Amino acid sequence: MFEEELKEAEKLLMEGETLKAAEKFIQVAEGLDAQGDYLAAAQTFLRAAEIYRERGEHYGAASAFKDAMIRFLVSGKLDEALRVAESVKEEEIRSSPTFAFALLMLEERRKELGDKAAEVFRLEEAEPLSEEDARRAVGAEGRVKSKSVRVEGELGEDFLERVFADMRGTANRRVEFKLRGRSREGGVEGHVSCELVPAEPPYYVAEVKLEAVWEGGLEEGILEGLIPEGFKVVDVEGGRAEEADEGTKVIFSVVRLTEGEKACFTLRATREVARTVVFRRGGLIDAVRTYLPVKREGGEFAVSSEVYGVAGGVDEVFLEDEIPLELSIIEVFPKEGDLRLIEREDTLVRWKLKSLKEGESVKVGYRLERRPRALLFEKELRLKDGRILAKAIKTVKPLDEGKYIVQVSVKNLSRSTLSNIELVDIVPKGHIVNAEGCETAKSNEETRLTWKVPLLKEDETFKDAYWATGDHLDHNQPLYIKLEGYETVKVENAGITRYKGALKGEKEVYEKKQNR
């Protein structure tokens, strides 16, 4: 499987379509990952990473290297994962807010397992539960994934981590669409990629954009994409959703686009809580993965499902739930479970539950609320040769009663003193500002705040903060930088990075967009 897709990726590479080739390799790697072929997925992610590196796209390279590291790790190939980590360049690490966390996770695993990591994970596979028994065991109505192995001795933390990681894989929000259509010149094919981004919980939204790049335009075409696991489509604007053996497909029809014209479609989905349950029956281990819907109850949300003892009873039950980071936990049940929380890109909740007789059940669930979101914007000012002159950072953090605080800073990253720097922040219309230490100019559309920094020495940072009242999520523009003294030097671009999430650390950031 995937032989044709790999051939297509190689063909694109030979034709010089390096970006499309990298995206195709990523698509194949994610397919291999979904099938549980983690080693092949790791190798394919590496191919994509090398292409991104050759193109100078640090973020794409870092993301693909990170995905390869994780797949090597869950395959028991710790040495391979470490070799990948050592090969990643400093500028690639800096470009990815989650790469540092992946390195930390890898280092922790190395310390725990040492040189015998691969030996720990060599398990004898057993016949898995039937799909009907697996669904009944976790109280699921939809699809489930199950795996069974035999093991001797106690279930240590290392073994459980291996099983959970093996079933979990990595969260994927990308939707890859394949285009088949017809132009005036004949048949055409293409690919469109988009990402499901968080909106009002529990919803995610994706915009699918297609541009007619063919001479004479596009007479007609069909866009077809597969929704990632864990998402349930609730609305498709301009298209339809269909259930297939491999999951939910979203299909859009395109008719008569002139050359250069663009079509835009929107789909909306809910993200469900991923649950993995591990049952121990003597030396037999059954792992079952399913997804639970998030239900709105007034201003809160609820998730719950029964876990049942399988045939012959269960000696121990271990459970892991993946709570989307945009939701925070108010209450958990049952109260008597052995519970542990792990904050990563999502919140992992680990349970150790009591033994269950055949048919006996326990209800496991949560009351949740929307997590307050902070915003972070980074803007780098670079010369044409890639050297960074300065970096401006702006954070917007919510407070109580509709108030929020904005923190701004600029750091000199050059090797000389910078002079006459101006930082400009735009506050949305209707927001009330309480700011000192800067110039304030109000208009009917906005409030403009300007900070003037006469001198900023090498490695020095200027910082300031102010208060405001309004919806902080509307305050969503980066700082503007004006830098004098470099009039004769062409500045190629100012790269902007936007984040939304809890700003307690890189691992809690759950949305990243790049616009360069």
> What are the structure tokens assigned to 502, written together?
């809890």
> Using CA atoms, how far apart are residues 479 and 475, in angstroms rounded to an integer?
11
Q: Which two tokens stand for residue 13?
A: 């590479």
For 470, the 3-state DSSP assignment is coil
What pLDDT does residue 375 have?
79
Mean predicted confidence (pLDDT) in 11-38: 83
DSSP state of 114: G
Give the whole-angstrom CA distance, residue 254 versus residue 374.
Answer: 38
Q: How confident is the model at residue 347 (pLDDT cuts 50, 70, 90)?
A: confident
Q: What was the pLDDT predicted at 449?
A: 96
Residue whose token pair is 């997804």: 291
How high is the pLDDT of residue 193? 83
Enter the DSSP assignment of 335.
Answer: T
As a whole number, mean pLDDT of residues 93-104 equals 66
Poorest-confidence range of 300-309, 366-375, 384-393? 384-393
Does residue 366 register a pLDDT over 80?
yes
Two tokens, residue 166: 């093996």
Q: Give the DSSP H or E segment for 188.
A: strand 186-195
pLDDT in tens, 401-431: 789 999 999 999 888 899 889 999 999 999 9
Closest CA to 468 of 395, 416, 384, 359: 395
Banded model confidence at residue 1, pLDDT cuts 50, 70, 90: low
**Per-residue pLDDT at 501:** 45
Confidence of residue 435 (pLDDT cuts 50, 70, 90): very high
Distance separating alpha carbons of residues 234 and 347, to the nearest angstrom: 24
Percent of the chain whose predicted confidence (pLDDT) is above 90 = 33
Instruction: Note the pLDDT tens digit of each residue in 49-61.
Output: 989 888 888 888 8
* Range in 105-109, 172-176, 334-338, 343-347 the model is least confident about: 105-109
Is the pLDDT reported for residue 168 higher than 90?
no
The whole-angstrom separation of Cα 6 and Cα 16 is: 16
Question: Is residue 193 exposed (0-12), middle (13-18) or buried (19+ Cβ within 10 Å)?
Answer: middle
Average pLDDT over residues 126-147: 87
Query: Please, which pLDDT band fits residue 195 given cuts at 50, 70 and 90?
Result: confident
Q: Is the per-residue pLDDT at 454 higher than 90?
A: yes
Average pLDDT value for the chain: 82
pLDDT of residue 106: 64
- Give whole-number Cα distances, 467 to 398, 438, 459, 462, 487, in Å: 10, 13, 27, 18, 34
Residue 512 has pLDDT above 60, yes or no: no
Instruction: Give residue 494's pLDDT.
Output: 39
Q: Residue 446: what pLDDT?
A: 92
- Looking at 56-139, list the stretches that DSSP marks H as alpha helix, in order from N- to C-terminal side: 58-74, 78-87, 90-95, 99-113, 117-120, 131-138
Helices in 380-443 by DSSP H: which ranges? none
DSSP state for residue 286 in the 8-state scheme = E
- What's at 149, amino acid-wise? V
Which has the higher per-residue pLDDT, 91 or 275?
275
Higher pLDDT, 380 or 448: 448
Rounded to an integer, the average pLDDT of 260-276 is 93
Q: What count of other Cβ atoms lies within 10 Å of the Cβ of residue 369? A: 14
- Distance between CA 276 and CA 401 in Å, rounded? 39
Alpha carbon distances (Å) from 354 to 280, 357, 375, 395: 11, 10, 41, 45
Contact 452, 440 (CB under 8 A): no
pLDDT at 497: 43
C-beta of residue 85 within 8 angstroms of C-beta of residue 103: yes
CA distance 404 to 394: 13
pLDDT of 510 > 50? The answer is no
Domains of the chain, start order: 3-122 (1.25.40), 174-271 (2.60.40), 285-368 (2.60.40), 374-515 (2.60.40.1170)
Burial of 29 by CB count in 10 Å (0-12 exposed, 13-18 middle, 19+ buried)?
buried
Sheet-wide strand order for 231-237: 197-198, 203-211, 262-271, 231-237
Give the distance from CA 83 to its chain's centroid: 24
Q: How many residues does the chain have?
A: 516
Instruction: Grade residue 372 by pLDDT with cuts at 50, 70 and 90.
Output: confident
Query: Is-contact 183 257, C-beta < 8 A?
Result: no
Q: In which element (H, E) is residue 395 found?
A: strand 388-398
Unique residue bearing structure tokens 């335009």: 217
| 3-state class (DSSP) for residue 142 | coil
Average the pLDDT over each of 31-35, 159-163, 463-467, 487-491 and give the range with the smallest value.
487-491
- Residue 452 pLDDT > 90: yes
The confidence band for 80, taking pLDDT boundaries of 50, 70 and 90, is: confident
Residue 120 has pLDDT above 50, yes or no: no
Percent of all residues in the chain with a pLDDT value above 70, rounded to a whole number:
85
Could you tell me if 377 and 387 are in contact, meaning their C-beta atoms sit under 8 angstroms apart? no
Specify the pLDDT at position 181.
92
Average pLDDT value for residue range 375-403: 81
Of residues 470 and 387, which shows the higher confidence score?
Answer: 470
User: How high is the pLDDT of residue 133?
Assistant: 92
The pLDDT, as a whole number, for residue 343 is 67
pLDDT band of residue 118 (cuts 50, 70, 90) is very low
| Residue 166: closest CA among 65, 47, 41, 313 | 41
Both structure tokens of 344:
């990563």
User: Which pLDDT value is given to residue 122?
Assistant: 46
Q: Phi-psi category of 345—alpha, beta or left, where left has phi over 0 and alpha has psi -120 to 50?
A: alpha
- For tokens 């950072």, the residue is 393
Mean pLDDT of all residues in 346-371: 90
**AA letter at 108:** E
pLDDT greater at residue 490 or residue 243:
243
Confidence class for position 495, pLDDT limits 50, 70, 90? very low
Q: Per-residue confidence at 346, pLDDT binned at 50, 70, 90?
A: confident
Overall average pLDDT of the 383-390 stretch: 74
How far apart CA 55 and CA 50 sit, in angstroms, is 9
The model's confidence at residue 99, banded by pLDDT at 50, 70 and 90, is low
Confidence of residue 485 (pLDDT cuts 50, 70, 90): low
Q: Which of 118-127, 371-380, 494-503 has the lowest mean pLDDT?
A: 494-503
Q: At what angle do helices 3-14 and 18-34 cross, to 10 degrees?
A: 160
| Contact partners, residue 231, CB within 8 Å, separation at least 6 | 173, 196, 204, 248, 269, 270, 271, 272
